[in-house]
Structure 1
Amino acid sequence: MKVTATLAALAEPTRLGAMHLLRDGSEHCVCELMTRLNTSQSRMSRHMKTLREAGLVVDRRDAQWVRYRLNPDMPPEIRRIVMAVLDTVETREREIA
């Protein structure tokens, strides 16, 4: 996993939102992610593919749905970057609100 691939994957608002939702450590189905992030199934799937290819999430097929969670095998240095980005975004959103 490269730092540049991680940052590129997090640079898009929908993907960043998905990572924020997955931060709770549990699995979320693509249907929940698309509803909460107000996007279509095809767009959400493309975004999740980008996150998966960057090594940030893993998926599990559950009948017709795909469930995602943060990659538990994410290298510690990449996890620190991801969490720092998410913390920064959350702090900025609180400051704006």
Structure 2
Amino acid sequence: MKSAVEILSALAEPTRLAAMRLLWDGREHCVCELMRELGASQSRMSRHMSVLRNAGLVVDRRDAQWVRYRIAPDLSAETFALLEAALALSGKPQRVAA
């Protein structure tokens, strides 16, 4: 498990937090969708998602030329609680899907 500092550092950047907000619905999202929703270039979005992946918060899957992301299915209870708290503090409602 990553430390709380590593997780919170990954979530401290507004674009990454916004990406986690989009992924919080429990579904898989294409990086192209994240780019469109967040107004980020492909390279910028990929860098942000790499930070989230390295923090253990998301997993990815290649689909042709795009990469699809979702919340990591094996988050510890502590990591899940940190993520939920960060999203709640940023105004995100409770998770609607697992």
State how far apart, in whole Å, the 2-side matches of 1:26 and 1:17 are.
Answer: 15
Question: Aligned residue for 1:55?
Answer: 56
Q: Which amino acid aligns with 2:26?
A: G
User: What CA distance in whole angstroms lies between the structure 1 residues aligned with 2:14 and 2:85?
Assistant: 16
Root mean square deviation of aligned Cα = 0.8
How many residues are treated as equivalent by the alignment?
91
Q: CA deviation at 1:55?
A: 0.1
In the other structure, the counterpart of 2:40 is: 39
TM-aligned CA deviation for residue 15 of structure 1: 0.1
Mark the runs of 5 or more structure 1 residues left unpaired by the alignment: 92-97
Greater helix percent: which structure?
1
Deviation at 1:88, TM superposition (A): 1.1
Q: Where does structure 1 differ by over 4 angstroms across 4 or more consecutive aligned residues?
A: none
SS in 2 for 1:90: coil
Segments of structure 2 that go 5 or more residues without pairing to the other structure are 93-98
Q: Which amino acid is 2:18 matched to?
A: G
The one-letter code of the counterpart of 1:41 is Q
Aligned-partner SS, 1:72: coil
For 1:1-97, what aligned pairs fall within 5 Å after superposition?
A: 1-90=2-91
User: TM-score scaled to structure 2, two decimals?
Assistant: 0.91
With normalisation by structure 1, the TM-score equals 0.92
**1:94 matched residue in structure 2:** none
